[in-house]
Amino acid sequence: MLFSSTQERIGEQTQYVAIINYEVSESFVQLIDNSGSLKVVNINMPPDESIRNGTVAVVLEIPKDFDQRIKNEQLVNITIYYDASSRTSTIAYSKIMQVLGMYRSDVVDNRLESREIDPKILQPLRVFAENVATEDEVSGYMLSLILPPLLAIIVATGGMNAAIDLTVGEKERHTLEALLVTATSRRDLITGKFLAVVTTTLLSIAFIMLSLSGSVGYLSRLQIQQMEIYLTLQTSIIVFLILTLMAIMIAALGMAIASFAKSFKEANNYLTPMLFIIVILSFGSYGISIDDVGIIPFLIPILNVTLVIQEVLVNNFNAIHMLVTISSTLLVSMIMIIIASWIFHKESVLFRA
């Protein structure tokens, strides 16, 4: 997005162009000058040097008999010097190519008319594109390219940090021992910690969805690619519920791994590779077309959540995919919770002393 806005800003600026042998064709110079965002200037140095030092963005070299060759319907060679490593120069080059394309079309039309031939003979086809997608579908498609991996990574990061603090964090603060000697059962203790992690993650998801609503509203005012994008309340609620599944799994996974660690640093060492895997799975949805996706990807944790969010955003809801995603995610969550509970029941494993 930043790249696109920079490109647009540079495109709106006026680029300076030099024309070698400009004096031989006043009409051609005026054509460049009248293009709107290009201005012809004189240079007294080689083309490459004038481009590198920023005097001009592009240099054109036309033959000394330019007008005569055009008049005699002969081939005219034009050389364009530009700097492919400069964004300003490449934008100016693209503008020059557009101007030359229009000039070429005008010359051809004039030659045909001089022979009393309709220029439309060179245009046997007229193509009309009709977009059958609704505004909601276009908006959802745009959001499906941005939100799913971003949301998955944010939820994973927030859930794991909370899980670490409520397990290994208490070990380092030496408060976990006091909890274990209370009348509270180990099952209730791990359940309470798990619910606390899930609640914290859900609150972060709620704030994320609220902030995204504001961000999407801002993006819609920018009208990316001439299309408004927005996140409806109904879609936001459905995405929130789907992310809740992921929050449960991340909380369980973080609790199981962090419970085994002896220190905050050790827990981070265990969870960092896991976060890396989550990032890969989150962006893995980009390589899958939801129009013809099979059932297997929805058995893979994290990836299935991002795919279901994509389906919801493009209004392509599939009940079977949702059911498989819920089942596989809850299954992984239950396994992780059982492991965490087992660790809390085994003090030799919990404290590894």
Count of C-beta atoms within a 10 Å radius of residue 81: 18
Domain range summary for the chain, segments of one domain joined by +: 2-122, 135-350
Q: What is the pLDDT of residue 266?
A: 80
Reading the block at residue 287, the tokens are 């390589």
Q: Comparing 138 with 207, which gets the higher pLDDT?
A: 207
Q: Which two tokens stand for residue 241?
A: 């519920």
Distance CA 183, CA 55 (A): 81
pLDDT band at 350 (very low <50, low <70, confident <90, very high): low
Strands 15-20, 58-61: pairing is: parallel
**How large is the average pLDDT for residues 5-33?**
79
> Residue 322 pLDDT more than 70?
yes
Q: Where is 41: in which H helix or E strand?
A: strand 38-41
Query: What is the C-alpha to C-alpha distance for residues 122 and 108, in angstroms, rounded to an integer?
Result: 10
| Burial per residue of 332-350, b for 16 or more beta-carbon CB atoms within 10 angstroms, e otherwise | bbeebbebbbebbeeeeeb
Residues 84/90, Cβ–Cβ less than 8 Å: yes
Q: Which of 163, 198, 194, 152 is nearest to 310 (CA)?
A: 152
Contact yes or no for 100/78 (Cβ under 8 A)? yes
Average pLDDT of 273-296?
80
Per residue in 44-55, pLDDT (tens digit) is 889 889 988 888
* Residue closest to 36 by CA, chosen among 98, 87, 82: 98
Closest CA to 224 of 143, 296, 161, 154: 143
Query: Per-residue pLDDT averaged across 259-280, rounded?
Result: 80
Residue 79's φ and ψ, nearest 5 degrees, are: -105, 130
Give the Cα separation of 206 and 215 in Å (integer). Answer: 14
Q: Are 155 and 243 in contact, with CB atoms under 8 Å apart?
A: yes
**H-helix or E-strand spanning residue 319:** helix 319-345
β-strands 38-41, 58-61 pairing: unpaired
**Model pTM score:** 0.59
Confidence (pLDDT) at 232: 67
pLDDT reported for residue 273: 83
The CATH code for residues 2-122 is 3.40.1710
pLDDT at 171: 77
> How many Cβ atoms from other residues are within 10 Å of residue 200's Cβ?
19
Inform me whether the pLDDT recorded for 81 exceeds 90: yes
pLDDT 10s digits, 208-261: 777 766 555 444 444 444 445 556 677 778 888 888 888 888 888 877 777 777
CB 298 within 8 A of CB 324: yes
Query: Confidence class of residue 353 from pLDDT cuts 50, 70 and 90?
Result: low
* Rounded Cα gap, residues 242 and 285, in angstroms: 16
Per-residue pLDDT tens for 147-178? 788 888 878 777 777 777 787 777 777 777 77
Tokens representing 199 are 């609640």
Q: For 14-167, where are the alpha helices, taking DSSP H only? A: 26-33, 47-52, 66-71, 87-114, 135-144, 147-166
223 vs 4: CA distance, rounded Å: 13
Q: Which residue has the higher pLDDT, 349 or 19?
A: 19
User: Which pLDDT score, from 0 to 100, does residue 225 have?
Assistant: 46
